[in-house]
Structures are given as C-alpha cells and as structure tokens.
C-alpha cells in the first residue's frame, strides 16, 4: 500500500455548503493530485501540488480550491457545493523519481443534494 488515506470516505451534503476533503500521505512525496471520477468522463484532474504551498489547476478546477501547508496533507475544498460536484474524489501521490507513476487513495464518495 502507498500510505495514502482520504477522509471522509463518504459524505452527503447540501447544495451551497462548503466541503473540505483531506488527503494524507505517509510517504513524504512531493507531488499530490486530486481527481474526480464520473461515469462517461473517466478520471479528470482538479488540482495538483508540486510542493508545500505550490499548487496548480487541472482541467476541471472551477468551484474547487486546494491548500498544502504540510508535505503530508493536501486539502480539497468545494467552496459552495453544487449537485454537479456529486462524484467520487481520488487523491494520488507520485514519487516522481523521473517517472510519472501515481498511487491512489481509496477515494471519497460525495453526494450533494
């Protein structure tokens, strides 16, 4: 196992509320990623981080923000949740030793009602 945990694992929330998902790694890897996975779209990158306080947008970043104040934690915030953000969210880490291999956490199932 790659030493990645995500919390919460399941969450139901109401439209308009803020939601924060947490990804925690024990590997001390530099690169961390947040993806969402939806039927018909596959895995899509939301945001990623290449170091503490260093983050960048992915292809579906609207409505999401991230923060990384420690190497081991990467937080994803839905500023005002919408029903279109109902999805499965995966965090991934990459050792980046001249490769692009990524290792995934178990995922968070988020339902916005």
What residues make contact with other proteins under the rule CB under 8 A? Answer: 31, 33, 35, 40-43, 45, 48, 50, 56, 58, 90, 94, 96, 99-107
Least spacing, CB of residue 42 vs other proteins, in Å? 4
Nearer to other proteins, 19 or 32 (CB): 32
Expressed in angstroms, the distance from the first to the final Cα of the chain is 33
Least spacing, CB of residue 64 vs other proteins, in Å? 16
Least spacing, CB of residue 104 vs other proteins, in Å? 4
b/e 53-77 (16+ beta carbons within 10 angstroms → b)? eebeebebbeebbbebeeebebbbb
Nearer to other proteins, 54 or 79 (CB): 54
**Which tokens belong to 94?**
């990459």
Q: Taking Cα atoms as reference points, which of 94, 84, 91, 85 lies closest to residue 108?
A: 91
User: Pairing between strand 87-94 and 108-112?
Assistant: antiparallel
Least spacing, CB of residue 56 vs other proteins, in Å? 7
Nearer to other proteins, 14 or 54 (CB): 54
């Amino acid at each position: 196992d790659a030493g990645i945990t995500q919390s919460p694992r399941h969450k139901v929330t109401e439209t308009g509320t803020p939601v924060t998902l947490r990804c925690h790694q024990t590997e001390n890897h530099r690169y961390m990623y947040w993806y969402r996975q939806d039927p018909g779209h596959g895995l899509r990158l939301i945001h990623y981080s290449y170091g503490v306080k260093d983050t960048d947008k992915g292809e579906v970043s609207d409505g999401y923000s991230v923060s990384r104040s420690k190497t081991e934690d990467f937080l994803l915030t839905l500023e005002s949740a919408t029903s279109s953000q109902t999805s499965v969210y995966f965090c991934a880490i990459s050792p980046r030793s001249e490769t692009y291999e990524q290792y995934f956490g178990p995922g968070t199932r988020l339902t916005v009602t």
